[in-house]
Chain A
Amino acid sequence: MADAKTIEPQESSLVRFWNWLTETQIWTSVFRHAAPINDRNRVLVMLSNVFLHLHPVRLKKHGVRLRYTWCMGGLSFFLFLNLTFTGVLLMFYYRPTLEYAYSDIVGLREHVPLGIMREMHRWAAHAMVITVWLHMFRVFMTGSYKPPREFNWNVGVIMLVLTLLLSFTGYLLPWDQLAIWAITVGSNMARATPFLGYEGPGASLLALGDVQLIHAAADARFALLGGTFVGEGALLRFYVLHCVALPLAIGFLMAVHFWRVRKDGGISGPL
Chain B
Amino acid sequence: MDAIKSFINIFADPRLFFLLSVVALALIVWKREIFARNAVGYGLMAVLAVFFAFGLFDENFVLIIAKPDNVPIVALIFLVIFFTWYSMREAVRNDERMAAGDDVIEKQESDRVWVWPDLVYTELISLILCTAILVVWSIGLEAPIEQPANPAATPNPSKAPWYFLGLQEMLVYFDPWLAGVVLPSLIIVGLMAIPYIDTNPKGNGYYTFNERKAEIVIFLFGFVVLWSSLIVLGTFLRGPNWNFFGPFEYWDVHKLEALTNVQLSDYVWVRGLGQSLPDNILLRESVGILLTLGYVFALPVILARTVFRNYYEKLGATRFYVTVVLFLMMLSLPVKMLTRWVFNLKYVVSIPEYFFNI
Binding site for B on A (CB under 8 A): 36, 39, 42, 45-46, 52, 55-62, 64-68, 70-71, 74-75, 78-79, 82, 102, 105-106, 109, 116, 118-120, 122-124, 126-127, 129-130, 133-134, 136-138, 140-147, 149-150, 153-154, 157, 160-161, 164, 167-168, 171, 174-182, 184-186, 188-194, 197, 199-204, 229-231, 268-271
Contacts and interface: CB of A to CB of B under 8 A. Distances in A.
A200 to B, nearest CB: 5
A169 B56 CA distance: 32
B72 interface: yes
A132 B248 CA distance: 31
Contact of B123 (A59, A74, A271): A74
A191 B75 CA distance: 33
Nearest to B113: A61
6 contacts: A46-B116, A79-B130, A120-B138, A176-B146, A201-B356, A270-B205
Given A157-B191, A177-B147, A182 B161 contact: yes
Interface in B106-136: 106-107, 109-120, 122-123, 126-127, 130-131, 134-135
A270 B106 contact: yes
Contacts of A177: 146-150, 153, 155
Contacts of A66: 122
A137 B115 CA distance: 25
Contacts of A71: 122-123, 126
B160 A185 contact: yes
Contacts of B159: 181-182, 185
The secondary structure that dominates the B interface is helix
Contacts of B206: 142-143, 269-270
A180 B142 CA distance: 19
B355 interface: yes
B87 interface: yes
Contact of B113 (A59, A119, A181): A59
B106 A74 contact: no
Contact of B144 (A120, A147, A178, A190): A178
Pick the 6 closest A-B CB pairs, nearest first.
Answer: A189-B180, A119-B138, A150-B195, A192-B176, A268-B205, A62-B109
B272 interface: no
Contact of B112 (A61, A75, A137, A149): A61
A36 B117 contact: yes
Contacts of A204: 354
A176 B149 CA distance: 4
Given A78-B130, A176-B148, A126 B177 contact: no
B134 A123 contact: yes
Nearest to A194: B177
A116 B135 contact: yes
A124 B127 CA distance: 13
Given A59-B115, A176-B147, A141 B207 contact: yes
B158 A184 contact: yes
A70 B206 CA distance: 13
Nearest to B178: A192
Contact of A130 (B76, B106, B192, B203): B76
Given A61-B110, A141-B216, A177-B147, A146 B115 contact: no
B8 interface: no
A192 B109 contact: no
A204 B354 CA distance: 7
Interface string B182-199: 100000100110111010
Contact of B75 (A64, A109, A130, A171): A130
A52 B118 CA distance: 13
Nearest to A196: B181
B290 interface: no
Contacts of A134: 79-80, 83
A194 to B, nearest CB: 6
B76 A55 contact: no
A226 B205 CA distance: 46
A149 B113 contact: no
B113 A130 contact: no
A36 B118 CA distance: 12
Nearest to A66: B122
A204 to B, nearest CB: 6
A176 B68 CA distance: 15
Nearest to A102: B148
Nearest to A125: B72
Given A58-B114, A124-B134, A141-B91, 5 more contacts: A62-B105, A157-B192, A160-B191, A181-B159, A182-B159
